[in-house]
Chain A
């Protein structure tokens, strides 16, 4: 086949106590692709995404970026790797004591060692891209959920990541705020950002995903293009899950 993958994760396994929450999960993604992770609550989506950048330490499994294996015991390499992999959390995790602008700047000044002025300029640009130019001086507690999530996207983008991991970016949002965040993600997609995203928004997934990965009980059950996974899945469990999600969130076609 064609291009080598940007990011590759292989046989990731994670246990909490005796419970195996992620069982030999593998995934690889090429430049400009968007892969979407779906599955019931507790199926291991967050664990999988966080194992990929080692925010959760997998018990087993290997990860490569640009063909280079990441060894999490090499702190310097690990931190350099995490810079290149942007992460968006379900509950935003903005730094509560910093303004929107400072939230975006801090990675630039403290991690990339950029000068204050240059960092400020870049942070402004990133906030502008997500439509928050007028809110740069606000603190997280003064922003709506949708605005917070957009700040967190700007914060990740400022690091010029090669890949972004998005963990249910709209699940903590009120329904009317979901679209503004999805619009930003569509924008990223249009601009060629490589992304792995977990979500319950099947409509969105069917519209934009290159591939959908269905996870249940820590096992990847089925993988394929949206049309197949969402409308003609092979596995009984995928069928059940998709029809249940449609009941909850409305039909897509």
Chain B
């Protein structure tokens, strides 16, 4: 027992360096997913029928295929075939980001559709172009409404990021696995990995809760 703890203690700095990798994966993927998700949502709500169909297909695809299949498909298959030389880390950010974009787009789309149509009408009545109205009027409101859904998406991406150990990204799970298989101390190491993920979930959702309060519109109840 003592011996296990000593091994775990010795491995902690190594695991914590994995936290940096995990956090980078999540930040990168969420960021990519945010930008693409907004574009996809706007396209799906305001786009031409063909744009909508195309985006619908994108969302259907990335929500329908398991993460591990997409990771292998892109990292070993697509990127290699196209001769794009990416590290496992970068490839993982892209794949996690593309998937998150699909989910985030649906969060934003729902938020946009929940806004009263009068908001866009009033913006147009002032002489705003549609793109200006979307940027200045629609998105600031829709993004505020999206924070709770976004918080949920964060915890999912965080947990999904552990799967990237399968393509060799040295995030928390990969490091726990590495130490465990060399020392045979499976229980304490995977336990530690679990606790680390729990803490990251806790901190992230807490932070987003604070953000939600900060951006809340005064007097506004829904």
Contacts and interface: CB of A to CB of B under 8 A. Distances in A.
Given A97-B217, A141-B220, A141-B221, A107 B119 contact: no
A81 B121 CA distance: 15
Interface stretch (A11-19, A82-90, A243-251): A82-90
B219 A142 contact: yes
Interface string A205-229: 0000000000000000000000000
Nearest to A159: B126
A241 interface: no
Interface string A97-109: 1000000001100
A91 B220 CA distance: 16
Interface string B48-63: 0000000000000000
B122 A94 contact: yes
Interface in A73-130: 75, 79-83, 85-87, 89, 91-97, 106-107, 110-111
B149 to A, nearest CB: 18
B14 to A, nearest CB: 46
Given A93-B118, A110-B136, A141-B221, A55 B124 contact: yes
Contacts of B141: 95-97
Interface string B204-220: 00000000000001111
A238 interface: no
Contacts of B218: 138-139, 141-142
Contacts of B116: 93
B122 A95 contact: yes
A155 interface: yes
Nearest to A103: B122
Contact of A111 (B119, B126, B219): B126
Given A97-B144, A106-B136, A139 B220 contact: yes
Nearest to A79: B127
A107 B127 contact: yes
Interface in A36-89: 50, 53, 55, 75, 79-83, 85-87, 89
A75 B126 contact: no
B128 A89 contact: no
A97 B128 CA distance: 17
B220 A111 contact: no
Nearest to B117: A93
B145 to A, nearest CB: 10
A107 B116 CA distance: 19
A246 to B, nearest CB: 31
B52 to A, nearest CB: 19
Interface string B115-154: 0101101111111110010001100110010000000000
B196 to A, nearest CB: 37
Interface centre among A55, A94, A155, A159 (most CB of B within 10 A): A55
A110 B125 contact: no
A156 B136 CA distance: 17
Contacts of B123: 95
B118 to A, nearest CB: 4
A93 B121 CA distance: 8
Contacts of A55: 121, 124-125
User: Which of A81, A92, A94, A96 neighbours the largest number of chain B CB atoms within 10 Å of its CB?
Assistant: A96
A87 to B, nearest CB: 4
Given A96-B141, A159-B126, A89 B121 contact: yes
A206 B116 CA distance: 34
12 contacts: A83-B126, A87-B122, A93-B119, A95-B141, A96-B220, A97-B141, A106-B126, A110-B128, A111-B127, A140-B219, A141-B220, A142-B218
Query: Lowest 4 CB-CB distances: which A-B pairs, in order?
Result: A141-B219, A83-B127, A93-B118, A87-B125
Interface of A: 50, 53, 55, 75, 79-83, 85-87, 89, 91-97, 106-107, 110-111, 138-142, 152, 155-156, 159
Given A152-B122, A156-B126, 4 more contacts: A53-B125, A79-B127, A110-B136, A111-B132
